[in-house]
Structure 1
């Protein structure tokens, strides 16, 4: 399973994902954190754009977060520093939403946040509580509802004896209808004392919500349930009205998420939805949720035709949608199908599919949600209009009933006030056409009439249909709405349209964002390779001749990233793009086709015009002053002048010209960048500069004394001067701090030889010295770093550099180190000769460089 697959899951998962780094103040206390990565669900649930978050502190992206009653920074900081995982449900005043949050730390100072928006769930709990109150007062009136509830509802005496339990409860407890009365609920609890605690809690408060319990059935099935208990008078007895929901899957998913060390794999393996990849119409991989749903093992599902699992009546529709998605079309959003389990039972699922690549070949990535219970609820609601109205009254969506024969609204749910600003009574006096903008009226009318005709011809068939349109708010604002409708006959045999309208503003915005990102580079805003390839095919016509292509490559970007970090490299790229725009024409196509490569597509443009454009850009870049870097770009161009010329050959010609230019410019540019890196390091710490100069001189004297030849003498002298250039990547306080380093700081410090090697090897002039810089902290006994090599495996010039560096550090200490006398420093070198230092190098250094014989040191 490749990483791109898991990244695709994270990107398309409905669970929000964000990756952060914690920021500490001088006291070491978390004071802020930085956004490093987010997925689309995070943008949707937070209401914020990705470009307004990535690379920014949370106090910049969300200035009001510190006024929130819950200290998010403190909680996240604790996980980032201490490790482990935390899970909680919290309300954010800043975003005005409830979230269930999972936070864990993959490494020190970093943490991952997964969360889901449970605002609707919280509201549903409130609606459920209100429904329970109504049921207690009007038991007989809602008996039908109770009998058809999708969750367990029972009446139990305080001693645990069942007086009543509804069919869902009988199924839950594996009871037969005729045998449940008088049985005790207590044996079903894993711990019988928990029943006593539950009863006491209900007796104290009269009503207890969200009580989690562990139950075990006669069949051996063990699961978790969440219960509501309420004291109630039933058949003249004081008892408990008990409602229970099976939350086993949720508990399992939570446990899996907490224990998982691989964030991408955990999302796949323990997602609440079913996830599978279908390629060539066959299942290539699926998560356990899908296996559990259908009762097949993972091995049985592998290479099984996906459409074979779909109910035969839904199979043509599923097949059509599959091939539409595969061809890149946009089929029906989230279609609903029946699928057949291994045991022959039927499950309803809602399907969200996206085009993806699996092993570099086209495939469809499916996210399936079990909506069987939802379908059962829909069937139950259809039997009673009054019950439908009661439930819809608490929904955030708007329910409408329009009498087509009388041409008027007969019902509007109370949520219309929050939806469009009208009270139900006001709207029922209006013509609903007034709520639809002119440009949507004709199409909406045609769809409604066509579906009514089909319904009247075949009233027994399902006729649910969906329309996306805009509605006009009372204040004049337009709102994107998804209206799901179904036709029916009322008791007077009049045709009614029953509709549910949902606000889809965020979805529409997200779709526009996805469309933009599919053709644009996120960092620079330029077109991406996909757009470039499509535009190239479109542009390659005779009418656009001459067509000129300019290839541009940013010089030294990797070196800048290695030295100063990717944020500085990104700033360099953005400034480069600004100059591209300032010196090109409005209709020119500019695309980023690689990390540091760009292409210009110029229709009806001669070679001379392109060269003038390149000249303007080079002139602008030469004047540009960029902190911690040099703005340098190599250009190459080629022109298609005849229709029979291959446009891809023109690209190759431009690329060759660009690479020839790059060979001329890159060496000088890399050397200049290395000089900038050195100047930056020494500017911040004068002691480092003087230390490096002294070490360079000592290396030179020692190499001359050992008669190593001019070439080696030169390279070891250069290595001495640049041996600490890798410290450019360290936090500045580590270099200059006056107390011993912490373990974390020491780990970071030990990386500077590798960092210096990466920087210096980029230039041929410093490539040999880079090898010596890499090894100057190795030891003869193999206990050094970063490679842990020993003895003769360490290059001799690196052993020279090691002795010179150690001697100067003892004689001219920096930071918290003490100063050694020359005699003590020599003693220390001799003491560690053969273990830390090369014994021969130490002897030459002491005898010939320091002009002091070994015998003079006692």
Structure 2
């Protein structure tokens, strides 16, 4: 196409003087050659009368491209055919004066409605005595479409480049006289690169690496230089002191002495990997070593040069009680405090691990049994100063020492564990009772009126029990159960217990939990286990509408029925946040009113008679 167009231009140039002088071509042979080229040309060609711009002839490419028949074109003006997006006003006048039409880009519309973008040029031509206009149009629609696709593609990739989440930069390498890379210059960077470095585009582009990052690592320059000079891509990690980050760098070379880098901040990933590696060998809750680490470490340390090796096995007391009463977060707090007490009481070289649950193991290389005993005593003294909701820390310990290489270290651990269980058996009941008394004392310190209520209920329960003929041993249990009947309130929020308004349903549900909590507290100690059943049932009703089990009549333990009656009476004659205190006569009337529904009717009768012999409270 370009060759033909060039040939036409050459031919027209040769004929220029003749056309300007309004003469015919030199011979019929030249006319024949011109029309042969005209007809077969692959560009659109048309001959118009210069006078009125009517078509005298068009070539096959013109007709085929625009979907026209020759009869539709000859003798018509382009305006009649409506093929141009606009007409060339005044072009004929200029050419008639000997001028030449300038090349221009125009849009030509075919009969199928398809628009063609063409480069149009025109020049004067004499056909016989008739001044004409030779119009040549090269269809560049496909080329324009390709240009548009390329423009869109470039725009898209520029956008991707700018918005890429990884930091992207494009550089040219700077070499010394020997061809060794000594620096590189930034050609372009994206937004992520700006964000990562904290610099703006204007502060980076056109500058060298040493200008942007003074003291840049020369190893990085050499690596990137090798990529730029050899074209071999590389992937490597490095620490950037300028950015204070660990970076993953992908470098590749799109052209000689130029290279591109994709930087990814892997600081967080490496920290996570370190965390994963750390937590593979550490307990998440306490931060101590875990059992996996201990089992690997014991193999490493089980050598003759570390003899004697002592092992201490410890079990935290009261964890289940705290979990049951205050929830597992408080139980976790107890374990954390135990771990801290152990760590602070041991030597820096001692290996401390959480064995699992509430158990800890301490590995002591080059340590005699007596020294292990001293460490145990330090831990006990330190942990006893810690409290979780009024319960002080306590750990049961056992330990054993390996003195000879023939003894299996697993046997040493087993001996330490057995000693711990024996110690725990002796200590457990005392520790649990101590915890129960600590809880009731904490409740009474927090709510002084609760102490008076518990003492009065305890006294009246014993009096009512004696009035119905219970034995002294039963009276003793009843008196203690009466004193501890509301111990479950230790787990309730103060704003619920002291709320002056009517309780909401969730709050009432929380209040009703205190019988179950009290049951868990007392049942933790063998000595209190029987009393726990009384505490659990002391809000059951004679008619079966109580809680937590909805027991009815004599199915409710007698002691629980006594506590229910007495505690209700004591509550009525004392002020409550939601109501004033009732007079003794009013309280007695309430008991009689609810006899047979809330209260055991026989017990109610005896209690009323008992009250008649008492002075007003």
**Structure-1-length-normalised TM-score:** 0.49
Q: Partners of 2:336 and 2:342 in 1: how far apart?
A: 10
- 2:162 maps to which of 373, 393, 402: 393
Counterpart for residue 486 of structure 2? 724
Q: Is the 8 A contact 1:398 1:419 kept in 2?
A: yes
Match status 1:517 vs 2:279: yes
Counterpart for residue 250 of structure 2? 484
Alpha-carbon offset, residue 556 of structure 1 = 1.6
Alpha-carbon offset, residue 590 of structure 1 = 1.0
Q: Partners of 1:698 and 1:675 in 2: how far apart?
A: 21
- 1:468 maps to which of 229, 232, 237: 237
Q: Is the 8 A contact 1:436 1:470 kept in 2?
A: no
Aligned pair count reads 463
Superposition map of 1:119-198 within 5 A: 143-144=148-149
Q: Is the 8 A contact 2:231 2:253 kept in 1?
A: no
Match status 1:533 vs 2:533: no
Distance 1:142 1:722, change over 3 A: farther
Counterpart for residue 547 of structure 2? 785
Q: Is the 8 A contact 1:404 1:495 kept in 2?
A: yes
Q: Is the 8 A contact 2:224 2:259 kept in 1?
A: no
Distance 1:603 1:660, change over 3 A: same
Match status 1:744 vs 2:509: no
Q: Is the 8 A contact 2:224 2:251 kept in 1?
A: no
Superposition map of 1:281-300 within 5 A: none
Alpha-carbon offset, residue 836 of structure 1 = 1.8
Q: Is the 8 A contact 2:173 2:228 kept in 1?
A: no
* Greater helix content: 2
- 1:667 maps to which of 423, 426, 429: 429
Q: Partners of 1:763 and 1:836 in 2: how far apart?
A: 30
Q: Is the 8 A contact 1:630 1:669 kept in 2?
A: no
Counterpart for residue 195 of structure 2? 418
Distance 1:426 1:443, change over 3 A: closer
Match status 1:712 vs 2:489: no
Q: Is the 8 A contact 2:170 2:261 kept in 1?
A: yes
Q: Partners of 2:240 and 2:375 in 1: how far apart?
A: 49
3-state SS of paired residue (2:338): helix
Distance 1:149 1:786, change over 3 A: farther
- 1:835 maps to which of 597, 601, 609: 597
Alpha-carbon offset, residue 813 of structure 1 = 4.0
Post-superposition Cα deviations, 1:579-625, rounded to whole Å, max 9, x if no partner, equal 32332111111122233221111112121221121123334445667
Q: Partners of 1:749 and 1:444 in 2: how far apart?
A: 72
Q: Partners of 2:605 and 2:613 in 1: how far apart?
A: 11
Counterpart for residue 364 of structure 1? none
Q: Is the 8 A contact 2:227 2:259 kept in 1?
A: no
Counterpart for residue 283 of structure 1? none
Alpha-carbon offset, residue 577 of structure 1 = 3.1
Post-superposition Cα deviations, 1:177-217, rounded to whole Å, max 9, x if no partner, equal xxxxxxxxxxxxxxxxxxxxxxxxxxxxxxxxxxxxxxxxx
Q: Partners of 1:442 and 1:533 in 2: how far apart?
A: 43
Q: Partners of 2:471 and 2:216 in 1: how far apart?
A: 86
Q: Is the 8 A contact 1:482 1:503 kept in 2?
A: yes
Counterpart for residue 370 of structure 1? none
**Structure-2-length-normalised TM-score:** 0.66
Counterpart for residue 107 of structure 2? none
Q: Partners of 2:270 and 2:464 in 1: how far apart?
A: 71
Q: Is the 8 A contact 2:321 2:521 kept in 1?
A: yes
Counterpart for residue 438 of structure 2? 676
Alpha-carbon offset, residue 708 of structure 1 = 3.1
Post-superposition Cα deviations, 1:20-72, rounded to whole Å, max 9, x if no partner, equal xxxxxxxxxxxxxxxxxxxxxxxxxxxxxxxxxxxxxxxxxxxxxxxxxxxxx
Q: Partners of 2:499 and 2:425 in 1: how far apart?
A: 42
Q: Is the 8 A contact 2:225 2:257 kept in 1?
A: no
Match status 1:776 vs 2:553: no
3-state SS of paired residue (1:499): strand
Alpha-carbon offset, residue 794 of structure 1 = 1.6
3-state SS of paired residue (1:667): helix
3-state SS of paired residue (1:593): strand
Counterpart for residue 590 of structure 1? 352
Counterpart for residue 604 of structure 1? 366
Alpha-carbon offset, residue 634 of structure 1 = 1.2
Alpha-carbon offset, residue 756 of structure 1 = 0.8
Counterpart for residue 339 of structure 2? 577
Q: Partners of 1:448 and 1:650 in 2: how far apart?
A: 62
**Once superposed, what is the RMSD of the aligned Cα atoms?**
3.7
**Runs of at least 5 residues in structure 1 that lack an aligned partner in the other structure:** 1-138, 151-386, 457-464, 853-858
Match status 1:797 vs 2:566: no
Q: Is the 8 A contact 1:702 1:800 kept in 2?
A: yes
Q: Partners of 1:644 and 1:444 in 2: how far apart?
A: 60
Q: Partners of 1:542 and 1:723 in 2: how far apart?
A: 59
Counterpart for residue 504 of structure 1? 266
Q: Partners of 2:430 and 2:412 in 1: how far apart?
A: 28
Q: Is the 8 A contact 1:563 1:677 kept in 2?
A: no
Match status 1:816 vs 2:578: yes
Alpha-carbon offset, residue 527 of structure 1 = 1.9
3-state SS of paired residue (1:812): coil
Q: Partners of 1:433 and 1:581 in 2: how far apart?
A: 49
Match status 1:764 vs 2:526: yes
**Runs of at least 5 residues in structure 2 that lack an aligned partner in the other structure:** 1-143, 176-183
Q: Partners of 1:395 and 1:419 in 2: how far apart?
A: 12
Q: Partners of 1:617 and 1:819 in 2: how far apart?
A: 50
Superposition map of 1:166-315 within 5 A: none
Q: Partners of 1:700 and 1:485 in 2: how far apart?
A: 88
Q: Partners of 1:735 and 1:142 in 2: how far apart?
A: 80
Post-superposition Cα deviations, 1:716-770, rounded to whole Å, max 9, x if no partner, equal 2211101011111111132233333232321211111111111111111211111
Alpha-carbon offset, residue 494 of structure 1 = 3.5
Task: State the structure with bigger RCO (CA 8 A, min sep 6), 1 or 2.
Answer: 2
Q: Is the 8 A contact 1:777 1:784 kept in 2?
A: yes
Distance 1:147 1:423, change over 3 A: closer
Alpha-carbon offset, residue 628 of structure 1 = 1.4
Counterpart for residue 551 of structure 1? 313
Post-superposition Cα deviations, 1:85-133, rounded to whole Å, max 9, x if no partner, equal xxxxxxxxxxxxxxxxxxxxxxxxxxxxxxxxxxxxxxxxxxxxxxxxx
3-state SS of paired residue (1:510): helix
Q: Partners of 1:827 and 1:414 in 2: how far apart?
A: 83
Q: Partners of 2:439 and 2:263 in 1: how far apart?
A: 60
